[in-house]
Structure formats: C-alpha cells, structure tokens
C-alpha cells in the first residue's frame, strides 16, 4: 500500500509544469551525468522521471536496492545499459566512483540522472567523483509562475504565504495543518538530526522556531545560540545543515565599498514561507494579515521567488543586500555583469513615496541615478512612478529576467 500511495503522488504531480524542465534537458545534452538536487518533496523525482521516461528508475530509499548498490556496485550499475534515473543517491556516495567509470567508458551525454535531497553530502561526493562530468540543477518547490500555470493561485497574499509552495499542497487534497507538521517531523527533524547526530530533539525544535522568527532579519548567531541554550559553534553547525538541506538560505551583503561602513552580517531567509509560518504558530490567513512578522514573511517570499527563477534557468544566484551603518538599506542587489540592479520589498498594499528612500540613497552613493530600479509591494497593480518600476506581488516573476 505504501508504494501504491507514493506512485499515485508522483503521477498527480506530473500535472504541474516545471519551468526547470528546459534546463534539465539542456544539461543532459552537455553532461554525462545530471545531478538534480533540492529539498524533500520539491518534485525532483517527478521531474526527472517525466523528462526521461525511457530510462529505468531506481530509488536508494528502497532497502534492497540500497544494499545491492553498497555490496555490489558494479552489478548494480551493469543493469542499466541505457542509463537510469537513480533517486536519493546520497544514501550511497561510494556508488559515484563506480558511476564515473561507467560514464567514462560509454561517453554518452545524459546517461544517468541522479537526484539527492541533502547537498551537504551529495555535492562533496559529486565534486570528488564526477568532476567535469556532471551538470547540476537545483529544484526548489513551485514558483508563483508555476502555480499560476497550474491554474491554482491562492486568492490573497496571506493565503499564498500561509500555504507555501510545496507541490503536494497543490496537487493533492491536503491542507497545511495536516501537511506541515508531518513534513517537519518526517523530513526536517529526521534528516537534520541524523546528519548532526542531535539527541536533544526539544532543543532542536526550539532552534527551528527561533530561526523562523528571524526570517528576513540580520543574523546574529551568538544571540540565536543564547536564545536556544546552545553554543555559537553548535548554532553554526545546525544552520549550515539547514542551509544544505534547502530549509533556509543566507543572503550575503554586497562586497563593494561605497564609501560607507557596511553591515557584514548575512540575512537569514526560509526558502518556503509555509514552513516558516507553521513554525511561528500562525494557522490562518487572517492572523497572518495582522501579524507583526507579515513584512518579514513577504520579504522572505519575494527572495525565494527570485532565487527560484534563477535556479530554474540554471543561472548563478548573484543576489545580495546592502545596508550601511546608518540604517540605509536596499533589500536585494541583483548582479547583471558589471551592473547592479536594486530591488526594494514592501508588504504594504498602497505605494508611498517614502518606500523609495533606500533605493535613492543607494543610487546616489553609487552614482547609479537613472538606471533601472525596482520595488515589489503587496498591492495588485504594477506601474512606473518616480523613476521606479513598481510591481504588484502577483507579477514578481516579471521583475528580473533569468
């Protein structure tokens, strides 16, 4: 019954178009192996199997297959004369060394498609065993544009933030109160605790909630550790694995010195607002609309959307923020060649001129007056005003070209 249920889920998720598909197909033409990584339940297996229907599929979550791969890797790979999709390959990193020999001998592009949910282990093993042979694509949960293409866009911004973007919440008749606690317990807590050998689950649960409360904020690791009753070293380790597991990401300050003392701490963001909202204890859209964290959650959502657009296209992120010691700030700086594009994010529904102050200060300090600048806000309309391109939240996917 378990395997029937999983198969049913995969089939239904194929209904949702993934904008990373052309990138996956492009990489398969130029590399012998393509590594598709991302968080659990982001749709990696569905995408890989739908893109390469002719290839056999094997999952190393299956205990028999995992034991076969570990005990006799040569025979395990010898079954796949035309290549294969191998799921959750991080469970057997030694297999990658044997895979290298197979693809080097056959010299076939797109021979094997491998997927993994924990880049912490997988990327190190891939870099060592498959350097120069592998193209990598990171797949996050659904973007706003993909949800819209699926014709299932939530009616309000609050509903969007509350629901998040994991495919199962759009492909299956399941609601956030049922899905998130199971996902967090089954994947986030289990996987991360295994990687770190965490014995005190209660402290780790507190740590997760404290991180959620800090989404969209400058990260003070020492203060985070104190609030959670753990050392700074432990907080750093736990953060690194959350980042490697695609639960959080860090936005770094831009490195150029514009004549002002700049803030050096990164900003912490959850890659899915639904998880952050659930960890904060927010259970309905009405509560979220009036919550003090609404602005930070909206900023978190916009950042994740910008990240998804770049990753889906197979492009480097090149996203930063800027803040000086006097409090002037630009939420996102997007690198385009030698030029920087500033983006400000405001959760309010009605544009006010003061929102542009940070952008104007940055433009003045960098002598970038007259160059494109963008502001994304919580309203519906998109328009141009005061030298800015102003975008409603539903048009976030149009802000920057991939």
Q: Three-class SS of residue 347?
A: coil
**30 Cβ neighbours under 8 A, 6+ residues apart:** 109, 135
Which candidate, 55, 65, 193, places its Cα nearest to that of 118? 193
Q: What is the dihedral of CA 255, 256, 262, 263, to 10 degrees?
A: -20
pLDDT, the chain, mean: 89
Q: Determine contact, residues 106/130, Cβ cutoff 8 Å.
A: no
Place of tokens 């550790």: 225
Residue 248's H or E segment, with its range, is strand 248-253
Burial class (CB in 10 A: 0-12, 13-18, 19+), 103: buried
For the stretch 33-64, pLDDT in tens is: 999 999 999 999 999 999 999 999 999 999 99
- From residue 52, alpha-carbon distances to 35, 95, 108, 149 in Å are 13, 21, 14, 22
Element (H, E) at 332: strand 329-336
Contact 143, 305 (CB under 8 A): yes
Q: What tokens does 227 get?
A: 């609030």
pLDDT for the residue 254: 87
- Asked whether the predicted pLDDT for residue 203 surpasses 60, the reply is yes
- Give the pLDDT score at 325: 78
pLDDT, residue 13, reads: 40
SS3 119: helix
Question: By the 8 A CB rule, do 98 and 75 touch?
Answer: no
pLDDT tens digits for range 365-384: 888 776 889 999 999 999 99
Give pLDDT, residue 119. 59
Q: What does the pLDDT look like over 218-234, one tens digit per residue?
A: 999 999 999 999 999 99
Which domains does the chain carry? 2-138 (3.40.50.300), 144-398 (no CATH)
Strands, DSSP E only, in 67-111?
Answer: 84-87
- Evaluated on CA atoms 242, 246, 247, 248, the torsion sign reads positive
202 vs 134, 197, 214, 394, CA distance in Å?
Answer: 39, 14, 19, 38
Chain CA centroid to CA 171, Å: 19
Please give the span between the terminal C-alpha atoms of the chain, in angstroms, as a whole number: 42
256 or 158, greater pLDDT: 158
**Average pLDDT for 334-348:** 89
What is the pLDDT, as a whole number, of residue 261? 59
| Structure-token pair, residue 246 | 């695609």
- Ramachandran category for residue 83: left, alpha or beta (phi over 0 → left; psi -120 to 50 → alpha): left
C-alpha dihedral (49, 51, 54, 57), degrees to nearest 10: -20
Least Cα distance to 361 among 400, 322, 391 occurs for: 322
% of the chain residues with pLDDT over 90: 71
**pLDDT score of 394 more than 60:** yes
**What's the whole-number mean pLDDT along residues 86-96?**
92
Mean pLDDT value across residues 349-369: 89
Mean pLDDT of 345-365: 93
> CA–CA separation, 147 vs 165, rounded Å?
8
Q: Please tell me which residue, 324 or 393, carries the higher pLDDT value.
A: 393
Residue 118 confidence (pLDDT): 66
pLDDT digits (tens, 9 = 90+) for 125-175: 776 778 789 999 999 999 999 998 887 777 899 999 999 999 999 998 999
Tell me what pLDDT residue 335 has: 83
Dump pLDDT digits (tens) for 274-318: 999 999 999 999 999 999 999 999 999 999 999 999 999 999 888
Indicate if the pLDDT at residue 120 is higher than 80: no
- pTM (2 d.p.): 0.92
């Amino acid at each position: 019954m378990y395997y029937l249920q999983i198969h049913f889920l995969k089939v239904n998720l194929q209904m949702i178009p993934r904008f990373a598909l052309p990138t996956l197909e492009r990489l398969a033409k130029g590399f012998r192996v393509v590594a598709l990584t991302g968080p659990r339940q982001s749709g990696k297996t569905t995408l890989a199997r739908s893109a390469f229907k002719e290839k056999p599929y094997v999952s190393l979550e299956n205990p028999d297959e995992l034991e076969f791969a570990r005990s006799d890797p040569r025979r395990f790979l010898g079954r796949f004369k035309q290549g294969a999709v191998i799921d959750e390959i991080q469970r057997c990193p030694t297999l990658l060394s044997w895979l290298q020999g197979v693809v080097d001998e056959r010299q076939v592009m797109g021979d094997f498609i491998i997927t993994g949910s924990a880049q912490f282990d997988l990327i190190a093993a891939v870099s060592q065993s498959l350097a120069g042979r592998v193209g990598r694509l990171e797949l996050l949960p659904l973007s706003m544009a993909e949800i819209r293409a699926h014709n299932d866009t939530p009616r309000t911004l609050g509903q969007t933030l509350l629901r998040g973007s994991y495919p199962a919440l759009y492909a299956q008749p399941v609601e956030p109160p049922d899905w998130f606690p199971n996902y967090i317990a089954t994947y986030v807590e289990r996987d991360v605790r295994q990687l770190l050998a965490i014995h005190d689950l209660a402290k780790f649960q507190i740590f997760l909630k404290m991180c959620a409360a800090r989404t969209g904020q400058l990260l003070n690791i020492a203060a985070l550790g104190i609030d959670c009753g753990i050392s700074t070293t432990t907080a750093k380790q736990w953060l690194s694995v959350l980042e490697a597991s695609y639960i959080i990401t860090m936005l770094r300050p831009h490195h150029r010195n514009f004549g002002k003392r700049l803030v050096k701490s990164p900003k912490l963001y959850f890659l899915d607002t639904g998880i952050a909202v659930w960890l904060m204890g927010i259970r309905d859209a009405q509560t979220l609309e009036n919550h003090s964290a609404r602005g930070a959650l909206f900023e978190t959502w916009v950042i994740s959307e910008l990240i998804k657009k770049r990753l889906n296209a197979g492009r480097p992120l090149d996203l930063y923020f800027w803040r000086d010691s006097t409090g002037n700030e630009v939420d996102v700086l997007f690198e385009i060649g030698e030029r920087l594009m500033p983006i400000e994010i405001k959760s309010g529904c009605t544009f006010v001129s003061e929102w542009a102050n940070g952008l104007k200060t940055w433009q003045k300090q960098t002598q970038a007056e007259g160059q494109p600048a963008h502001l994304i806000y919580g309203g519906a309309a998109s328009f141009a005003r005061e030298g800015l391109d102003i975008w409603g939240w539903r048009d976030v996917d149009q802000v920057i070209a991939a």
